[in-house]
């Protein structure tokens, strides 16, 4: 997902290193625990002041007007304004923040937010008093989150009478008296608490990810370090670091969809790579959840999935806001198919047939809006796939994201679709399956919107896509850990399931592997746990699939070991045993385990399991054999 970030320093592209390499040469590294220590703050402030002295300054004769001063106070909360409106209670280990209308707090870190008075907005979702607490995740890998205070819906309330018992409940005498003076009829009061989950504990156990929820070095000079919020796991950011930027067309597109929303809305979002589709969809889902109880989501982007590890096509129902990047809200969809590759270019037909299969599983009478995510591949066959999807699915809105004032592919308007050619469809628009047309007849027209993305770095290639995929997979594997606080357990210390190789079939999705090498390819790999329609029958040996099936997937596991003599697979998975009983197929894809899972295995002397250095990188012809199934070669076409 490409969203607005602070500018990455050149040379900061090492795998999962959320630090400025050049910055470490001139400054010792700072850990998140040190950010609230006085010596570190003093040292950093002195460095910053010395840097500022070197810059020429110009004396400004024009003083600010009262209106300008008001704009400053109602903008980004930082420095003295943040100290004046936030108080921390060390006994209960939380902080209370009073915000005025349109004030914002941009931060790095993680916390639990509860709205005690008024209402605030995060990523398009409105949080009001009386609602539950919501977890907020703002890691260095993605655009920082921003909390924005909204105007109160009730202007007749007595703020002093209502706010007093709230502040007294959460703060000591001196603190609540100070904040009570800041409360007006337009104020919002939020409670911020530290948050630690099995996911965050698991991620922080890896050295490369230990500072994931701290500001990168490029943002440290803009971090507001000495505030009541720092000890809670939150580090506010100054105005030099921008949060999510929404252009006028971005806001207009969101407002129009929400305004025209009905229970049958089918919204397809498309656009080239790194244009902000994923962020737009999260914001759209959050906006829709302000008005409806749930939103359906059809995943069509294999490389940047929202709720699952990469390589999956899925159909999910979203009932809660998405207040963080994809790895913070991994969940099991209602329906899922494991495609096994972050791109569909090697088998276009299986991609389309998998999407059709998912759509047909959705209830015809379901009165819930659905959002369809698409790939960033919008040229050549990728664009033809997009044309097919618009024809196959009964879309009511097509939102096309672009940047720099130009479209990176033709505008897929209803008029354009009258003459467009797809991979499986030709004009006039007709679906390839008659039963598909009967049950889901596409409308004659749809609303087409073009949204211009204007965040920093939009459209830039070479983003951290692979690292985002690894974070999502690590988040899924964090479910193997105990929910109780304690040390993180490596793979070799977890107890696996023993699965007879005669009871489940084993297949490879992304390349061709000869049967004699199948076990070598699958050992210590990620596998999809799938359910074939027919019963698996064996003649006394392992069952190996020769073709890639299209079948439901219920989750993932790590094939920790294979005992050929006993005929057993040793499988680690967080999937519930009651669901595992239905699994009769293990599918291996191109989605590999993150290297840190294998290289970080404490308790071993000598070589670690699954890791070897006895390998020659000079070998030729040792790569995977790929077969392109999307287009018949001219030499293979029979003469007429």
3-state secondary structure of 447: strand
Q: Are 115 and 124 in contact (CB under 8 A)?
A: no
CA atoms within 13 A of residue 131's CA, in its CB half-sphere: 21
Q: Are 313 and 336 in contact (CB under 8 A)?
A: yes
Angle among Cα 351, 473, 502 to the nearest 5 degrees reads 70
**What's the CA gap between 142 and 134, in Å, rounded?**
19
Split at pLDDT 50, 70, 90, the class of 9 is very low
Give the pLDDT score at 314: 98
Split at pLDDT 50, 70, 90, the class of 158 is confident
| Nearest partner of 303 among 464, 469, 550, judged by Cα | 469
Angle among Cα 409, 378, 418 to the nearest 5 degrees reads 65
Split at pLDDT 50, 70, 90, the class of 8 is very low
Q: Are 84 and 182 in contact (CB under 8 A)?
A: yes
Give the pLDDT score at 489: 87
**What's the CA gap between 188 and 151, in Å, rounded?**
8
CA torsion 583-315-320-482 (nearest 10°) is 20
Peptide bond before residue 602 is cis, with ω within 30 degrees of 0: no
Q: Are 229 and 87 in contact (CB under 8 A)?
A: no
Tokens of 275: 């244009």
The CA-based diameter of the chain, rounded to the nearest angstrom, is 91
In order, the DSSP letters of 539-588 are: SSS-EE-SS----BEEEEEEEEEEETTTTEEEEE--S-HHHHTT--EEEE
pLDDT at 75 over 50: yes
Give the pLDDT score at 366: 87
Split at pLDDT 50, 70, 90, the class of 296 is very high
Give the pLDDT score at 6: 41
Task: State the pTM of this model.
Answer: 0.84
Q: Are 182 and 156 in contact (CB under 8 A)?
A: no
Average pLDDT over residues 563-570: 94
pLDDT at 333 over 70: yes
Poorest-confidence range of 61-70, 90-99, 422-431? 61-70
| Nearest partner of 97 among 142, 153, 136, judged by Cα | 136
Q: Are 510 and 587 in contact (CB under 8 A)?
A: no
Average pLDDT over residues 441-462: 70
3-state secondary structure of 214: coil
Which residue shows structure tokens 């950093």? Answer: 44
Q: How far is the CA of 470 from the CAs of 151, 248, 304, 477, in angstroms?
A: 40, 33, 11, 10
pLDDT at 634 over 80: no
3-state secondary structure of 31: coil
**What's the CA gap between 369 and 298, in Å, rounded?**
11
Other Cβ atoms closer than 10 A to 7 = 11
Give the pLDDT score at 26: 39
For 29-56, write each residue's pLDDT tens digit.
444 444 444 444 445 544 544 554 444 4
Give the pLDDT score at 568: 95
Angle among Cα 43, 45, 48 to the nearest 5 degrees reads 110
Average pLDDT over residues 382-394: 95
Q: Are 29 and 21 in contact (CB under 8 A)?
A: no
pLDDT at 361 over 90: yes
**What's the CA gap between 257 and 249, in Å, rounded?**
12
CA torsion 579-585-591-596 (nearest 10°) is 60
Average pLDDT over residues 311-327: 97
Average pLDDT over residues 16-25: 39
Q: Which residue has the higher pLDDT, 375 or 456?
A: 375
Which residue shows structure tokens 């990469």? Answer: 310
Question: In which element (H, E) is residue 453 found?
Answer: strand 447-453
3-state secondary structure of 288: helix
**Residue 527: what are its φ and ψ, rounded to 5°?**
-130, 145
CA torsion 440-442-448-453 (nearest 10°) is 40
Give the pLDDT score at 626: 53
For 392-446, write each residue's pLDDT tens digit.
999 999 999 987 766 778 999 999 999 999 999 988 745 544 445 444 444 468 9
Dihedral sign computed on CA atoms, order 454, 455, 460, 463: negative
**What's the CA gap between 586 and 103, in Å, rounded?**
51
In order, the DSSP letters of 476-515 are: HHGGGS-SSSSPPPPGGGSPPEEEETTTSEEEESSS---G
Q: Are 312 and 325 in contact (CB under 8 A)?
A: no
Tokens of 154: 């009730």
Q: Are 396 and 265 in contact (CB under 8 A)?
A: yes
Split at pLDDT 50, 70, 90, the class of 556 is very high
Split at pLDDT 50, 70, 90, the class of 273 is confident
**What's the CA gap between 428 and 437, in Å, rounded?**
14
Q: How far is the CA of 226 from the CAs of 80, 220, 379, in angstroms?
A: 10, 12, 49
For 594-607, write each residue's pLDDT tens digit.
988 888 877 666 77
**What's the CA gap between 380 and 80, in Å, rounded?**
54
**What's the CA gap between 146 and 121, in Å, rounded?**
8
Cα 90 to chain centroid, rounded = 33
In order, the DSSP letters of 102-156 are: T-EEEEEEEEEEEEEESEEEETTEEEETTSPPEEEEE-TTSPPEEEEE---S-SS
Dihedral sign computed on CA atoms, order 550, 556, 557, 558: positive
């Amino acid at each position: 997902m490409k969203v607005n970030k602070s500018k990455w320093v050149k040379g900061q592209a090492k795998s999962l290193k959320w630090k400025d390499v050049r910055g470490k040469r001139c400054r010792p590294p700072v850990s998140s625990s040190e950010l609230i220590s006085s010596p570190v703050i003093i040292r950093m402030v002195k460095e910053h002041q010395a840097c500022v002295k070197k810059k020429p300054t110009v004396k400004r004769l024009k003083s600010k007007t009262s209106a300008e001063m008001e704009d400053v106070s109602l903008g980004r909360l930082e420095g003295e304004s943040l100290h004046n409106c936030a108080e921390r209670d060390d006994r209960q280990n939380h902080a209370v923040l009073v915000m005025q209308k349109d004030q914002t707090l941009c931060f790095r870190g993680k916390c639990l937010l509860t709205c005690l008075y008024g209402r605030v907005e995060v990523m398009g979702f409105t949080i009001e008093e009386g609602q539950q607490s919501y977890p907020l995740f703002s890691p260095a890998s993605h655009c920082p989150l921003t909390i924005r205070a909204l105007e109160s819906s009730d202007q007749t309330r007595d703020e002093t009478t209502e706010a007093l018992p709230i502040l007294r409940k959460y703060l000591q005498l001196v603190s609540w008296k100070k904040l009570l003076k800041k409360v007006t009829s337009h104020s919002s009061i939020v409670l911020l608490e530290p948050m630690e989950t099995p996911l965050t504990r698991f991620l922080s156990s890896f050295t490369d990810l230990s500072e994931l929820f701290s500001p990168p070095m490029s943002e440290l000079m803009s971090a507001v370090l000495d505030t009541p919020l720092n000890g809670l796991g939150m580090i506010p950011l100054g105005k030099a670091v921008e949060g999510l930027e929404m252009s006028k067309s971005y806001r207009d597109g969101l407002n129009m969809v929400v305004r025209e929303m009905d229970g049958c809305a089918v919204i397809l979002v498309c656009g080239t790579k790194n244009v902000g589709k994923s962020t737009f969809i999260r914001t759209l889902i959050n906006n829709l959840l302000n008005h409806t109880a749930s939103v359906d989501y059809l995943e069509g982007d294999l490389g940047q999935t929202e709720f699952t590890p990469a390589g999956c096509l899925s159909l999910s129902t979203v009932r809660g806001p998405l207040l963080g990047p994809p790895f913070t809200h991994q969940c099991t969809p209602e329906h899922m198919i494991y495609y096994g590759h972050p791109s569909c270019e090697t088998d276009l037909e299986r991609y389309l047939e998998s999407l059709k299969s998912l759509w047909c599983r959705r209830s015809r009478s379901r009165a819930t809006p659905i959002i369809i995510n698409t790939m960033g591949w919008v040229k050549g066959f990728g664009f033809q796939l997009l044309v097919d999807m618009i024809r196959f699915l009964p879309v009511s809105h097509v939102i096309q994201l672009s940047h720099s004032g130009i479209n990176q592919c033709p505008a897929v308007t209803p008029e354009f679709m009258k003459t467009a050619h797809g991979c499986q469809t030709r004009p006039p628009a007709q679906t390839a399956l008659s039963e598909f047309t009967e049950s889901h007849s596409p409308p004659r027209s749809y609303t087409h919107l073009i949204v211009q993305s204007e965040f920093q770095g939009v459209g830039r290639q070479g983003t951290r896509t692979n690292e985002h995929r690894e974070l999502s997979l690590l988040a899924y594997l964090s479910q193997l850990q105990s929910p109780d606080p304690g040390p993180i357990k490596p793979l070799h210390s977890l107890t696996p399931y023993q699965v007879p190789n005669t009871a489940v079939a084993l297949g490879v999705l992304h390349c061709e592997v000869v049967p004699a090498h199948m076990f070598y390819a699958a050992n210590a790999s990620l596998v999809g746990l799938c359910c074939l329609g027919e019963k698996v029958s064996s003649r006394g040996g392992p069952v190996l699939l020769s073709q890639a099936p299209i079948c439901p997937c219920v989750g993932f596991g790590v094939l920790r070991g294979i005992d050929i003599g006993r005929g057993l697979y040793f499988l680690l998975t967080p999937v519930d045993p009651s669901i595992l009983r239905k699994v009769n197929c293990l599918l291996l894809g191109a989605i590999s385990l993150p290297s840190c899972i294998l290289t970080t295995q404490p308790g071993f002397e000598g070589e670690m399991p699954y890791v070897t250095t006895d390998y020659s990188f000079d070998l030729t012809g040792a790569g995977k054999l790929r077969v392109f199934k999307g287009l018949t070669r001219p030499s293979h076409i029979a003469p007429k």
